[in-house]
Structure 1
């Protein structure tokens, strides 16, 4: 298979399909009342509330505790990135007593691992930062209010679609509901999937499916509480995927990301591949 055909296959899957999915989402949700019909299932018109929104245990588990996964991933990547510079320093000064003791100790193995994966740590940091920045930009430049804030569900704001309010150069207003921020925090784990693809990990596609499920769970939890429409979750996944793909292409390049998945009986070491790709 020639280079042009492999390039086309990569971009058609990783860029073309998300764009097609965005078009379907736009037509199916943004141009219809499907979002509102789905949200109505969780709204009590008599009491004028979303009952699940008042369940504190549900709020704590699905909104506060759920952030642990992406938050800890980002924090561990930052710590790993800083510590990845420690081993080269120790090697340089290994003749000193302190550095020599550390180099010969059991701590050497994890420090070498951190050095080998330095590029991956920085990729995760940048991918998280870029996807967060994109979501915040879209929120502030569309000024969409959440369902509970609109007159449809007892609020004071008028319901609008994001494309009716979009402004490029300045904030559109105080609304901050589109795309879904809570769902985007889960979808930010797409970065871990691209790291898995870089090393051709056998279970990378399962990891991708898991991240998608996690994002849908995060997003749907907010939908049933009245704080998002269902399409907000889909748009969050689309924009986070595109921004993370851009970061992955910058750090790794298309050809590395498109390498065939390793087979389960492949004896080659993932760490060995990392040491070839990273420099001190």
Structure 2
């Protein structure tokens, strides 16, 4: 069966919104996230993990300003994500001008909107959630008492470290999974692996630098997945044969 026909079959099935799709892509991931977030809070895993990383560096965040952690991964990872978004924008603009690529316009628009929306949402939440970075907290080189995610914060204290914005530069590309699901389903796991790999790399590096607790990255992952899924349901799910992309050429 030609690849376009396979895409049509997949999209037609998705258009019927089977319960199994939302069970696999919404219910189970949401339950897994709730369980993981609860475990982090109940067992105080954030501080236990941060303590391990802090003590391993000689009771200091020695990697905070290291070339590899700060320049290559922290700054470079963000620039890589921005460059990938700009490259996608360029391809979309080309598709707007070339009729034989017309069927790729909507999926590419989805990818641009989903990645940007996820990253911007995480950044916006970070601006008002008022959570500290590990390096701000007593016991990890800082001066502020630790407050859990759901604990009341004292007035006059301002933290801007939750969720993890830099990790979202990788996790926002979870939208690749749904982009390929709608266009070339056999590549969807590759897209998922790329996004998770980049998000974990940046997120773990930020944890090593003392910039984030583990839960900050978990929430960024969840937010990016839900944004990607929601926009997939709104923009790509159930598109007709006429809307199915052909091969780029």
Structure 1 window deviating more from structure 2 (64-73 vs 41-50): it is 41-50
**Distance (whole Å) between structure 2 residues aligned to residue 36 and residue 252 of structure 1:** 41
> Among 12, 18, 25, which residue is 1:7 paired with?
18
Instruction: Give the corresponding residue for 1:259.
Output: none
CA deviations over 1:246-267 (Å, ceiling 9, x no partner): 11111112x46xxxxxxxxxxx
**Distance (whole Å) between structure 1 residues aligned to residue 67 and residue 17 of structure 2:** 50
CA deviations over 1:193-221 (Å, ceiling 9, x no partner): 21110024323223313322221111111
Instruction: Give the corresponding residue for 1:184.
Output: 168
Instruction: Give the corresponding residue for 2:65.
Output: 54
Q: Is the 8 A contact 1:190 1:241 kept in 2?
A: yes
Instruction: Give the corresponding residue for 1:141.
Output: 128
CA deviations over 1:228-259 (Å, ceiling 9, x no partner): 11121111111100011111111112x46xxx
**CA RMSD between the two structures:** 2.9
Residue 3 to residue 58, structure 1, CA distance change in 2 (3 Å): closer
Instruction: Give the corresponding residue for 2:7.
Output: none
Instruction: Give the corresponding residue for 2:139.
Output: 152
**Distance (whole Å) between structure 2 residues aligned to residue 273 and residue 13 of structure 1:** 23
Q: Is the 8 A contact 2:95 2:105 kept in 1?
A: yes
**Distance (whole Å) between structure 2 residues aligned to residue 163 and residue 14 of structure 1:** 27
2:58 matches 1:74: no
3-state SS of the aligned residue for 1:84? helix
Structure 1 length-normalised TM: 0.73
Residue 209 to residue 3, structure 1, CA distance change in 2 (3 Å): closer
1:45 is displaced (CA, Å) by 9.1
Q: Is the 8 A contact 1:193 1:207 kept in 2?
A: yes
1:120-139 alignment runs, 5 A limit = 120-139=107-126
1:177 is displaced (CA, Å) by 1.1
Which is higher, the Rg of structure 1 or of structure 2? 1
1:67 is displaced (CA, Å) by 2.1
Structure 1, gaps ≥5 residues long: 89-111, 167-171, 257-269, 276-280
Instruction: Give the corresponding residue for 1:93.
Output: none
